Amino acid sequence: MQVMAIIGDVVASKTMASRAVFQRKLAKVLTGAGRDASGLASPYTITLGDEFQAVYRAADTLFAEVFTIMAEIHPVRARFAIGVGELATRLNPEQALGMDGPVFHQARAALTELKVDERLLRIAGAEPEAWRLANGVLNLLSHAVEGWSRNRLLVMAGLLRGRTVREIEEGMKISRVAVYKNIRTAALDDVKDVCEELGVALNRTLRER
């Protein structure tokens, strides 16, 4: 079965003063992030320490979930490695545990690279060359995201979910001017287009294999 496995890892989690409190918060955030996810086949599940993972059948809302998680744990940061490939074991629809296959190996290798490169987002598949350009763009995005506020991350997540400026304004309870300022300052419309194209590429890869 061709799927996407996403492995997340909280940055510098071992140095947190209240790690147990954060872990409870993370569990709640992950439950909320997966509630309206489209294409999520195995829900976000905390695995080892402050790592978590999920399995997707389609990438339609994947980046919206990623930015939602980033926003809800801010100012704490997390890395996200996305593997595309074969799931060798039976899919577990209840929790993202007890599964294995090349797709997880690819995601794990990408996570290792993120730790070395100190980046936040990466895609890995059976043919690394196919994702070189995408990962170059994600490296630039990782650099930008490092300086984003919680509100900016939430605006980004809202745009990726197809929400209008008015809906984002009302949902976040901030002014329309603030929404537009975040979009303009960080070129969020362009980031949205990039994420949507990456989603299209991920879905195409799943269909072709």
List all residues 6 or more positions away from 113 whose beta carbon is below 8 Å from its beta carbon.
81, 119, 122
Question: Which domains can be identified in the chain, with CATH numbers?
Answer: 2-208 (3.30.70.1230)
Extended strands (E) in 30-173? 40-46, 51-56, 78-86, 121-124
The answer to whether residues 123 and 73 touch, using CB atoms and an 8 Å cutoff, is: no
Secondary-structure breakdown of the chain: helix, strand, coil percentages, each rounded to the nearest 5: 55, 15, 30
209 residues of the chain, pLDDT tens digit each? 899 999 999 997 777 778 888 889 999 999 998 887 889 999 999 998 789 999 999 999 999 999 999 999 999 999 999 999 999 999 999 999 999 999 999 999 999 999 999 999 999 998 888 899 999 999 999 999 999 999 999 999 999 999 999 999 999 999 999 999 999 999 999 999 999 999 999 999 998 76
Considering only CA atoms, which of 142, 135, 150, 143 is closest in space to residue 182?
Answer: 150
- pTM (predicted TM-score): 0.95
Residue 155: C-alpha distances to residues 106, 113, 122, 182, 183 (Å): 30, 28, 22, 7, 8
CA neighbor of 74 nearest in space, from 140, 120, 138, 122: 120
Tell me the one-letter amino acid at 26. L
d(CA 191, CA 179): 15
pLDDT at 162: 95
Burial grade of 126 (CB within 10 A; 0-12, 13-18, 19 or more): middle
Burial class (CB in 10 A: 0-12, 13-18, 19+), 166: exposed
